[in-house]
């Protein structure tokens, strides 16, 4: 087997495997190294996203939402359900099957694109620019020589001080995806994407869920109007959300006891069967042996890169969660493609201003660009237009009229500055806003485009019309 490559990619998560495929498409000899394994020791490329993140969480969200609809919404459609029950074991089997399909799909793409895959851990073993030595530690010990190295090693869940994950009582994202039966009481520390999504899954299946958030505002990074609507809806659904709390001692024995101070300063105690800790993620640079070659990290532990994802080492690049910027799978993919193209002498493009964000709760929350509070802080003069799904015919037919679409546009030029959605299929609707912003569109451009009727996308058109105070269906 050849051991000399134009590009060696360390990590086969969204950033890594996409970078490898794009580099191979551009005519380079490419290897990709990844250590994720299935329970029986086989390769499981795809990183956190595929194995214990984006993909399995969406599988569980879909299963729990189906159960919730059968329990509460089917009767409205004339569908009678008797003896409804949830088989958590079968739900987890389906989730595992979805993950396996994605693992196998990536391996197939490697084969199709002639990317050489190494199952193991990759680390620097020396070398210099244009001739880096990469040690693979796995079932076989290989040393690869690479003209270029792309580091795409992702991130790990952040633990609370002195409270390690055991994934039995104290759960990270992987543990939250593998709970064998619905807990009676579930605690979640951190009201971010992972916490809310996993809390939603188990709440729908019957758990009593309490979410503790240290920040004073709920979903502080989200547009305030959207965040307020989300908190109201989630509370109505049964999520007990407390903000401004200070977590103290946590004791894990047969169950978990969390001592904390609430927003009013009063001491409180929460006793739960399981505790999900979702307080962020940290870059994964462990085992890279970067010190041996002088790889520079920034003050927060991320690999230091410039705007083109170049590290301080010539012909060494880094993408995804292990570098600055939003920790999102699709951001990693875009960086992976851009780096492969830069290596090939082309112009890679990534615009952080048009990276969409999504929280896959029900209702979904999605946004791109600036929030209203950001525009106010920056002194930008803008106009706002909103349209509720309550006035959308397709949403009424779906039986899901929660939420709204909100457009923010420059007061003088009408250029779209941000779009914020809470409601059905927000994750799909936001793509129209991303395209519009990438092409520098005005709100009027969306308002003048014919949208199919009846469709949820009409709410986008109506919100754009609302920027100019000329909504038609409200």
DSSP characters over 83-132: S----HHHHHHHHHHHHHHHHHHHHHHHHHTTPEEEEEEEEEEEEETTEE
- Distance CA(456)–CA(467), nearest Å, equals 18
What distance, in Å, lies between the first and last C-alpha atoms of the chain? 66
In the chain, the domains with their CATH numbers are: 4-157+282-350 (3.50.50.60), 170-279 (3.50.50.60), 354-467 (3.30.390.30)
Residue pLDDT, tens place only, 428-450: 999 999 999 999 999 999 999 99
Residue with tokens 């039966």: 181
Beta strands in 233-350 (DSSP E): 240-242, 246-252, 256-261, 267-272, 274-277, 281-283, 316-318
Average pLDDT over the chain, rounded to an integer: 97
Q: Yes or no: say if 384 and 225 are a contact pair by the CB < 8 Å rule.
A: no
Q: Yes or no: say if 125 and 133 are a contact pair by the CB < 8 Å rule.
A: yes
From the DSSP assignment, how many helices (H) and strands (E) are in the chain?
13, 21
Count CB atoms within 10 A of the CB of residue 459: 28
Cα dihedral 340, 343, 344, 350, rounded to 10, equals 50
Q: Yes or no: say if 463 and 385 are a contact pair by the CB < 8 Å rule.
A: yes
Q: What percent of the chain has pLDDT over 70?
A: 100
Residue pLDDT, tens place only, 266-289: 999 999 999 999 999 999 999 999
pLDDT band at 138 (very low <50, low <70, confident <90, very high): confident
pLDDT band at 1 (very low <50, low <70, confident <90, very high): low
CA atoms within a 13 Å half-sphere pointing along the CA-CB vector of 245: 24
Q: Yes or no: say if 463 and 407 are a contact pair by the CB < 8 Å rule.
A: yes
* pLDDT for residue 134 is more than 80: yes
* pLDDT for residue 140 is more than 90: no
pLDDT of residue 330: 98
pLDDT of residue 2: 57
- Distance CA(455)–CA(447), nearest Å, equals 15
* pLDDT for residue 309 is more than 90: yes
* pLDDT for residue 379 is more than 60: yes
pLDDT of residue 141: 82
* pLDDT for residue 378 is more than 60: yes
**Once rounded to an integer, what is the mean pLDDT over residues 111-120?**
97
What secondary structure letter does DSSP report for 88? H
Among 55-64, 131-140, 176-185, 240-249, the minimum mean pLDDT is found in 131-140
- Distance CA(443)–CA(437), nearest Å, equals 10
Spot the catalytic one: 69, 72, 148, 453: 453
Beta strands in 59-130 (DSSP E): 116-128
- Distance CA(450)–CA(467), nearest Å, equals 17
pLDDT of residue 10: 98
Q: Which two tokens stand for residue 192?
A: 């971010």
User: What phi and psi values does residue 198 have, to the nearest 5 degrees?
Assistant: -70, -35
- Distance CA(36)–CA(33), nearest Å, equals 10
Tell the burial category of 309 from Cβ atoms under 10 Å away from its Cβ (0-12, 13-18, 19+): buried
Would you say the C-alpha torsion 214, 215, 217, 222 has a positive or negative sign?
negative
Residue pLDDT, tens place only, 336-366: 999 999 999 999 999 999 999 999 999 999 9
Q: Yes or no: say if 63 and 92 are a contact pair by the CB < 8 Å rule.
A: no
Q: Which two tokens stand for residue 7?
A: 């590009």
* pLDDT for residue 139 is more than 80: no
Give catalytic status of residue 420 as yes or no: no
């Amino acid at each position: 087997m050849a051991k000399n490559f134009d590009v060696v990619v360390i990590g086969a998560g969204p950033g890594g495997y996409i970078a490898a495929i794009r580099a191979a498409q551009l005519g380079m000899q490419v290897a990709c190294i990844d250590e994720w394994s299935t329970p029986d020791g086989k390769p499981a490329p795809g990183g956190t996203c595929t194995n214990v993140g984006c993909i399995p969480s969406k599988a569980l969200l879909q299963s729990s939402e189906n159960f919730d609809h059968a329990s509460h919404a089917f009767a409205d459609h004339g569908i009678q359900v008797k003896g409804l029950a949830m088989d958590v074991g079968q739900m987890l089997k389906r989730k595992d099957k979805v993950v396996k399909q994605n693992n196998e799909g990536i391996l197939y793409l490697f084969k199709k694109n002639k990317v050489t895959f190494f199952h193991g851990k990759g680390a620097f073993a020396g070398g210099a620019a244009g001739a880096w030595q990469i040690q693979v530690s796995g079932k076989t010990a290989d040393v690869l020589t690479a003209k270029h190295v792309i580091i795409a090693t992702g991130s790990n869940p952040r633990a609370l001080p002195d409270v390690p994950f055991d994934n039995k009582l104290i759960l990270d994202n992987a543990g939250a995806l593998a709970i064998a039966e619905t807990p009676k009481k579930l605690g979640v520390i951190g009201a971010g994407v992972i916490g809310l999504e996993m809390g939603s899954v188990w709440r729908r299946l019957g758990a009593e869920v309490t979410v503790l958030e240290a920040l004073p505002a709920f979903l502080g990074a989200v547009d305030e109007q959207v965040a307020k609507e989300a908190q109201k809806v989630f509370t109505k659904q049964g999520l007990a959300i407390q903000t401004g709390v200070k977590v103290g001692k946590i004791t894990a024995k047969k169950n978990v006891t969390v001592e904390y101070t609430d927003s009013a300063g009063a001491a409180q105690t929460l006793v739960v069967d399981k505790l999900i800790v979702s307080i962020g993620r940290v870059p994964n640079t462990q085992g890279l042996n970067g010190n041996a070659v002088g790889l520079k990290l920034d003050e927060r532990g991320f690999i230091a890169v410039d705007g083109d994802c170049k590290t301080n080492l010539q012909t060494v690049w880094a993408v995804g969660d292990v570098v600055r910027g939003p920790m999102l799978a699709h951001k990693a993919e875009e960086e992976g493609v851009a780096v492969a193209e830069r290596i090939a002498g082309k112009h890679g493009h990534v615009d952080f201003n048009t990276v969409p964000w999504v929280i896959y709760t029900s209702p979904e929350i999605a946004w791109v660009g600036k929030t209203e509070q950001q525009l106010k802080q920056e002194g930008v003069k803008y106009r706002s237009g909103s349209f509720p799904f309550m006035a959308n015919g397709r949403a009424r037919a779906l039986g899901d009229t929660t939420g709204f679409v909100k457009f923010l546009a420059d007061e003088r030029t009408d250029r779209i500055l941000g779009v914020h959605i809470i409601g059905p299929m927000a994750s799909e609707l936001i793509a129209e806003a991303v395209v519009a912003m990438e092409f520098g569109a005005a709100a009027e451009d969306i308002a003048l485009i014919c949208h199919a009727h009846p469709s949820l996308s009409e709410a986008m058109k109506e919100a754009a019309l609302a920027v100019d105070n000329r909504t038609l269906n409200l």
